[in-house]
Amino acid sequence: MHDANTVRRIVSASGIHRTDHVLEVGPGLGSLTLALLDRGAQVTAVEIDPLLARQLPTTIADHSHSEINRLSVLNRDILTLMPGDLTDQPTALVANLPYNVAVPALLHLLAEFPTIRTVMVMVQAEVAERLAAEPGGKDYGVPSAKVRFYGNVRRHGMVSPTVFWPIPRVYSGLVRIDRYETSPWPTDAAFRDEVFNLIDIGFAQRRKTSRNAFADWAGSGNESAERLLAASIDPSRRGETLAIADFVRLLQRSNEAALEAGKQQDQVRVT
The Cα–Cα gap between 200 and 196 comes to 6
Q: Does residue 184 lie within any of the structural domains?
A: no
| Domain end position, chosen among 179, 209, 228 | 179
Query: Among residues of the chain, what percentage have pLDDT more than 70?
Result: 96
143 shares a domain with 38: yes
pLDDT of residue 259: 85
Q: Is 47 annotated as a binding residue?
A: yes
Weakest mean pLDDT among 102-116, 151-165, 194-208, 255-269: 255-269
195 shares a domain with 158: no
91 shares a domain with 15: yes
Q: Does residue 16 lie within any of the structural domains?
A: yes
Q: Is 96 annotated as a binding residue?
A: yes
Domain count, the chain: 2
175 shares a domain with 58: yes
Residue 95: CATH number of its domain: 3.40.50.150
The yes-or-no verdict on residue 134 having pLDDT over 80 is yes
The yes-or-no verdict on residue 17 having pLDDT over 80 is yes
The yes-or-no verdict on residue 150 having pLDDT over 80 is yes
Confidence label for 271 from pLDDT (cuts 50, 70 and 90): low
The Cα–Cα gap between 160 and 169 comes to 10
| Average pLDDT, rounded, for the chain | 94
239 shares a domain with 174: no
166 shares a domain with 48: yes
118 shares a domain with 90: yes
Is 223 or 4 the better-scoring residue by pLDDT? Answer: 223
251 shares a domain with 160: no
164 shares a domain with 195: no
Looking from the CA of 126 toward its CB, the CA atoms found within 13 Å total: 6
153 shares a domain with 95: yes
Closest CA to 250 of 221, 206, 210: 210
161 shares a domain with 81: yes
Range of the domain at 79: 4-179
138 shares a domain with 87: yes
Is 259 or 78 the better-scoring residue by pLDDT? Answer: 78
Q: Is 120 annotated as a binding residue?
A: no
Average pLDDT over residues 211-229: 97
CA distances from 31 to 35, 81, 163, 255 (A): 7, 23, 12, 49
